[in-house]
Chain A
Amino acid sequence: MIVLGNIGACLTTRALGKQVRELIEEELGSSSRVLLDFAGVEMASHSFCDEAFGKLLLKMGFKEFKRRIRFSCCAPEVESVIKFALKTRLEEEKMCVIC
């Protein structure tokens, strides 16, 4: 489990998103499923979510992402930004498949 509230209440910037993605990838190396706990996170920007989760989805593929990643205790607004970032990358993934 990765507790994002320990990183900050406002999660912004791609640099921080990249750090979180690397943490998740490290965790994925030793666990079949990674739980991302958002308790205490008040806000997450699109850039952060895209870098942390969107790019991970693109790398893993949606099927594998769904199997191994879970988001927990997200505020509705944070959930909506994460979904928005994932959707953007999922469309990119679909386009790549079509290409």
Chain B
Amino acid sequence: MGQNELIISLPQKLTVSSLCEIDFVSFWKTRSNPVDKIIFDFSPIEFVRPAGLASIVALMKFSKHLGVAERYYFREPKDSDVRQYLKRMGFYGQFGIIKEQVNQKIKSLSTLCELREVKDEFEAYKVTEQLVKIVREQVQPRKEMMQVISHALGEIVDNIFHHSKSPVNGFVCAQTYKGEGEVEIAVADCGVGIKESLKGNPIYKGIRDNAEAIEIALGKMTTGKPGTNSGQGLFVCQRYVKENSGQMDVISGNAQYALRGTGGNVKSHPFWQGTIVSMVFNLEHTFDPKKVLNSEFPLDADFDELFEEAGER
């Protein structure tokens, strides 16, 4: 192995929880000391979840954007199921790698919402709608859960354009797990991160670190764009996940917020340039999103006269 070669070895289980096992320190060093070649080593991988995949694809695109190496290599997973999974998720297409056609039998059994690069905000709407449709077709969640999932998906995809300033766009993917009765949705970007984004609002200029920034971003009416955005997106997502006893992870800079069930905490994480958001919903744990919104934001009766039934016209 030459000195000018960097191997980014990926963990056996590529999930949001195992991203911290990746040697990001060596990777970021290449920004000041470019190398001849970077090898993204997928060979150890035996299991992948959406947040892991979206994050690595964003990182690979970002490394190319930065020009930190002369050449980039991809070492294929040893596990044939993982290779098949990557194919079905559209991973190879992201890098112009042509693989044989996906086995139609496998494709029809698919519970995947393939990886999408969201290039502009109008496409964000289309991508959200397509993913919602796929989730609905695959697991037919109850109406309330479908609303929660589509709401959360819409909010986190929207955030890519309104906050991230990512030079390599954003990546979104989802997967339904029928056996476990779960849906995971994830987005990853390599933008400015939550701390820098919040600094667009003068009241957050004094934020000390990424951990504080994530905590603030998860609060009510927090935005780096006062007047433009109302800053309820992540707050509502977090409330939904709590109500659902699901899981939520937000990684930005060198901090990670991890919510499991109803308890969440912020801890340190190897530096990530940008933001990763992942949410896992329990399909069986249905709740009424209307009640959550009403409890957090009690409504005035004033609004009722704005709404009419079909016959009132």
Q: A residues touching B (Cβ–Cβ < 8 Å)?
A: 8-10, 12-16, 35, 39, 42-43, 45-48, 50, 54, 62, 65-66, 69-74, 76-77, 79-81, 83-90, 92
Please report the C-alpha to C-alpha distance between residue A35 and residue B306 in the assembled complex, in whole angstroms.
Answer: 10
19 residue pairs A–B, Cβ–Cβ below 8 Å: A10-B129, A10-B154, A12-B128, A12-B150, A13-B157, A15-B124, A15-B125, A16-B122, A39-B310, A45-B154, A50-B230, A70-B308, A72-B310, A80-B293, A81-B151, A83-B299, A86-B303, A87-B303, A88-B221
Let me know if B146 is at the binding interface, CB within 8 A: yes
A-B contacts, CB under 8 A, total:
127
Q: Which of A8, A71, A73, A76 contacts B129 (CB 8 A)?
A: A8
Kindly report which residue of chain A lies nearest to residue B307, judged by CB atoms. Answer: A71
Q: Quote the shortest CB–CB distance from B170 to chain A (angstroms).
A: 12
A43 lies within 8 A of B147 (CB): yes
Contact partners of A43 in chain B: CB under 8 A: 132, 146-147, 150-151
Measured CB to CB, the nearest residue on chain B to A16 is B125
A73 touches B290 (CB 8 A): no
- Contact partners of A65 in chain B: CB under 8 A: 306
Residue of B nearest to A69 (CB): B306
- Distance in angstroms from B124 CB to nearest chain A CB is 5
Q: Is B158 an interface residue (CB 8 A)?
A: yes
Determine chain A's interface SS by DSSP, over half rule: helix
A10 touches B121 (CB 8 A): no
Query: B100 at the A/B interface (Cβ < 8 Å)?
Result: no
Contact with A along B117-158 (1 / 0, CB 8 A): 000011011001100100000000001101100110111011
- Bin chain B's interface residue count: 35 or more
3 cross-chain pairs, A with B, having the tightest CB-CB distances, nearest first: A12-B154, A45-B154, A15-B121
Do B157 and A88 touch (CB < 8 A)? no
B290-313 CB mask vs A (1 if < 8 Å, else 0) is: 100110010110110111111011
Which residues of chain B from 264 to 313 have a CB within 8 Å of any chain A CB? 288-290, 293-294, 297, 299-300, 302-303, 305-310, 312-313
Q: Would A47 and B307 be within 8 Å (CB), given that A54-B230, A77-B289, A81-B151 are in contact?
A: no
Q: CA of A86 to CA of B146 in the docked complex: distance in angstroms?
A: 23
Distance of A88 Cα from B157 Cα, bound (Å): 21
> A42 contacts B309, CB within 8 Å?
no
* A87 B297 Cβ-Cβ under 8 A: yes
CA distance A72 to B293 in the complex (A): 20
